[in-house]
């Protein structure tokens, strides 16, 4: 999650400038403190030839503006280079809608129409990705530090950020703008794949699964208790969007990073989600007996 362990051109540039600025800052701080101490304690300070004019003009009017001008001009160039402007390279597109407190992910260019998923974004490695970000309720901010800067998700506006992962791997992100009760538990994962692996992973966003036969004991319960908000079909967003569950068994975490999706985690989540992530928008399941919950969990997990 560290911006100091950058991956990709955007984050590389930002980490690079950080180290330069850090070094410069320590030099300036050291110089100012040394100058002040010398002014207070130095014996020869009054004979040293450091005149007030030299300090005010040399320090205040020449040195500071020169450093700032260099930084400003460099910053303008660096900022401009990170903009999602049309270029020569082909760009992969992703749409993200931020909700209290999860991320709705859409692959708009998937074959046969857009695919919907949640809290995980799968992208090709070594290719620029434009992520279009908006918010469905309050303001959130989309941020994957190892890949680059952040962009706010606002209601009514769309913003685009360009990121690029140089190699296959998992990059953690988290909501950066305070968005209410569970701002802390609003993580997301970006996973970069080589081309074929990406296709395989996206194929898991499939509307049909082996356990989906009507006889599956959990299917009816899911229809009754969950389907009002949740969909198992990645082709539909649902009327009141809640995380799409099509590829749930293959996700790394549950509850937008609240707990690892390990053996038994889903059942625990269904039972205790209001204790694990208090205030989240899913109602408590206290009215469901343990057998029903287990059946739903089995239904959702399918054959692992």
The footprint of other proteins on residues 75-94 (CB under 8 A) is 75-76, 78-80, 82-83, 85
Residues with Cβ within 8 Å of residue 188, at least 6 apart in sequence: 103, 119, 120, 121, 142, 144, 172, 173, 174, 256, 257
Instruction: Answer yes or no whether residue 180 interacts with other proteins by CB under 8 A.
Output: yes
Burial class (CB in 10 A: 0-12, 13-18, 19+), 53: exposed
User: Could you give the CA distance from residue 300 to residue 292 in angstroms, rounded to a whole number?
Assistant: 12
The minimum distance between CB 180 and other proteins, in angstroms, equals: 6
155 forms beta bridges with 135
Alpha-helical runs (H) found in 159-234: 195-203, 217-225
Stretch that binds other proteins, among 121-129, 147-155, 232-240, 289-297 (CB under 8 A): 147-155
Helix (H) or strand (E) holding 103: strand 102-107
The phi, psi pair for 219, rounded to 5°, reads: -60, -45
Stretch that binds other proteins, among 175-183, 199-207, 244-252, 292-300 (CB under 8 A): 175-183
Instruction: Answer yes or no whether residue 284 interacts with other proteins by CB under 8 A.
Output: no
Which residue reads 């434009």 in tokens? 130
Instruction: Answer yes or no whether residue 157 interacts with other proteins by CB under 8 A.
Output: yes
User: Could you give the CA distance from residue 136 to residue 227 in angstroms, rounded to a whole number?
Assistant: 20
Tell me which of 7, 115, 121, 179 binds other proteins, using CB under 8 A: 179
Cα 5 versus chain centre, distance = 15
Residues with Cβ within 8 Å of residue 13, at least 6 apart in sequence: 78, 81, 82
Binding mask 196-235 for other proteins (x = CB under 8 A): ----------------------------------------
Stretch that binds other proteins, among 59-67, 108-116, 219-227, 291-299 (CB under 8 A): 59-67
Binding mask 7-46 for other proteins (x = CB under 8 A): ----x-xx--xx--x---x--xx--xx-xx-xxx-x--xx
Instruction: Answer yes or no whether residue 152 interacts with other proteins by CB under 8 A.
Output: yes
CB-wise, 50 or 288, nearer to other proteins?
A: 50
Instruction: Answer yes or no whether residue 138 interacts with other proteins by CB under 8 A.
Output: yes
CB-wise, 152 or 233, nearer to other proteins?
A: 152
Tell me which of 91, 127, 168, 183 binds other proteins, using CB under 8 A: 183
Instruction: Answer yes or no whether residue 3 interacts with other proteins by CB under 8 A.
Output: yes
């Amino acid at each position: 999650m560290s911006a100091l362990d950058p991956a990709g051109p955007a984050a590389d540039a930002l980490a690079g400038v950080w180290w330069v600025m850090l070094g410069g800052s320590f030099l300036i701080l050291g110089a100012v403190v040394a100058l002040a101490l010398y002014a207070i304690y130095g014996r020869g300070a009054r004979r040293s030839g450091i005149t007030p004019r030299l300090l005010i003009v040399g320090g205040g009017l020449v040195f500071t503006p020169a450093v700032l001008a260099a930084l400003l001009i460099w910053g303008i160039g660096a900022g401009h280079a990170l903009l999602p402007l049309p270029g020569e390279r082909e760009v992969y597109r992703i749409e993200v809608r931020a909700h209290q407190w999860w991320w709705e992910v859409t692959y708009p260019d998937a074959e046969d129409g857009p695919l919907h998923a949640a809290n995980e974004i799968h992208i090709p490695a070594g290719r620029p990705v434009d992520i279009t970000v908006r918010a469905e309720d309050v303001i959130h901010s989309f941020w994957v530090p190892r890949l680059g800067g952040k962009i706010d998700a606002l209601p009514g506006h769309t913003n685009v950020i360009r990121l690029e992962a140089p190699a296959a791997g998992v990059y953690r992100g988290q909501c950066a703008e305070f968005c209410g009760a569970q701002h802390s538990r609003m993580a997301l994962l970006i996973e970069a794949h080589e081309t074929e692996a990406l296709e395989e992973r996206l194929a898991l966003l499939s509307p049909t699964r082996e356990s989906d036969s009507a006889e599956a004991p959990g299917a009816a319960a899911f229809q009754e208790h969950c389907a009002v908000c949740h969909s198992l079909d990645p082709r539909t967003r649902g009327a009141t969007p809640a995380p799409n569950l099509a590829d749930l068994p293959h996700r790394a975490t549950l509850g937008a990073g609240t707990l690892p999706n390990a053996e038994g985690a889903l059942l625990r989540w269904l039972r205790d989600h209001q204790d694990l992530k208090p205030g989240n928008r899913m109602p408590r399941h206290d009215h469901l007996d343990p057998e029903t919950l287990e059946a739903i969990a089995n239904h959702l997990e399918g054959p692992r």
